[in-house]
């Protein structure tokens, strides 16, 4: 299976964020093969990606649709797996040849047409909660290079920052440490990722142009996700 044969599928899946992406078919399942073809491109991507991670995500099509109680499983002749979802609807996607060969399905306990199904690129979360400003810029640049690899529409876009995503009721405390100074960054209600419906999270948008190139961004509470911001 060559990467160049997968690119059209990935373009449909990634688009500009998640716009126009819905691998869901009628009923309560989606094709594992379709998802596999979109996800394997990141695994085969040969440029720097050490600061990135890729998940498979279910995104509600409407803000009123909740992820509460939603479950996803992989069902094939010899493969049966539960795929736990995090609060943003993401799951770690298994690249299994057996499931591909069996034309397995991703089964949902909700109506599939209520959701979009797609790869979701994000930045790796650090366990210690401390991020060098330079590393965040480098991670965002890696994300942009990958998006350009799968979607030519990103050619004119630029990295402008990183979104720290928290539960809506969580304390979204993010500090910028520069020398001996500490600055608390403001948080707002918003979507976890660009293109997601609704504003079900508390987010801090760390924009590079607003802060010094040096310093450290510290999150005492682990964020749910780190999303690259592009303009």
For residue range 167-207, list pLDDT tens digits in order: 998 878 899 998 888 999 999 999 999 999 989 999 999 99
The pLDDT of residue 21 is above 70: no
What is the three-state SS of 17-40?
CCCCCCCCCCCCEEEHHHHHHHHH
33 against 170, higher pLDDT:
33
Point out the least confidently predicted range of 2-16, 18-32, 135-149.
2-16
- Structure confidence at residue 171 (pLDDT): 79
For the chain, state the CA radius of gyration: 18
- Tell me what pLDDT residue 172 has: 81
Determine the average pLDDT of the residues in 115-135.
Answer: 96
Residue 27 pLDDT: 53
Does the pLDDT at position 58 exceed 70?
yes
Q: Are 208 and 161 in contact (CB under 8 A)?
A: yes
pLDDT surpasses 70 at 4:
no
Asked if the model's pLDDT at residue 22 lies above 60, the reply is no
Q: Are 73 and 81 in contact (CB under 8 A)?
A: yes
Percent of the chain scored above 70 by pLDDT?
A: 88
The predicted structure's pLDDT at residue 59 = 96
> What is the residue-averaged pLDDT of the chain?
89
**Nearest-angstrom CA–CA distance, 164 and 225:** 6
Provide DSSP, 39-105: HHHHHH--S--TTEEEEEEEEESSTT---TT--EEEE-SS-EEE----TTSEEPPP--HHHHHTT-E
Per-residue model confidence (pLDDT) at position 17: 36
């Amino acid at each position: 299976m060559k990467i160049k044969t997968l690119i059209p599928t990935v373009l449909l899946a990634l688009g500009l964020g998640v716009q126009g992406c819905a691998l869901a078919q009628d009923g309560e399942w989606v094709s594992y093969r379709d998802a596999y073809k979109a996800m394997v491109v990141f695994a085969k991507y040969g440029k720097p990606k050490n600061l990135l991670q890729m998940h498979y995500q279910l995104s509600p099509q409407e803000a009123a649709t909740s992820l509460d109680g939603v479950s996803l499983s992989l069902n094939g002749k010899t493969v049966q797996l539960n795929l736990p979802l995090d609060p943003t609807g993401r799951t770690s996607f298994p690249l299994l040849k057996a499931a591909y060969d069996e034309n397995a399905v991703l089964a949902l306990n909700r109506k599939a047409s209520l959701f979009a199904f797609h790869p979701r690129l994000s930045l790796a979360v650090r366990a210690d909660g401390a991020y060098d400003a330079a590393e965040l810029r480098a991670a965002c640049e890696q994300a942009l290079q990958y998006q350009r690899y799968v979607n030519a529409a990103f050619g004119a876009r630029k990295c402008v920052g990183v979104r720290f995503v928290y539960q809506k009721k969580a304390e979204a405390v993010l500090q910028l440490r520069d020398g001996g100074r500490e600055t608390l960054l403001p948080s707002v209600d918003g979507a976890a990722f660009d293109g997601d419906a609704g504003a079900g999270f508390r987010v801090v948008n760390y924009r590079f142009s607003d802060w010094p190139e040096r310093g450290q961004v510290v999150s005492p509470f682990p964020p749910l996700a780190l999303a690259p911001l592009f303009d």
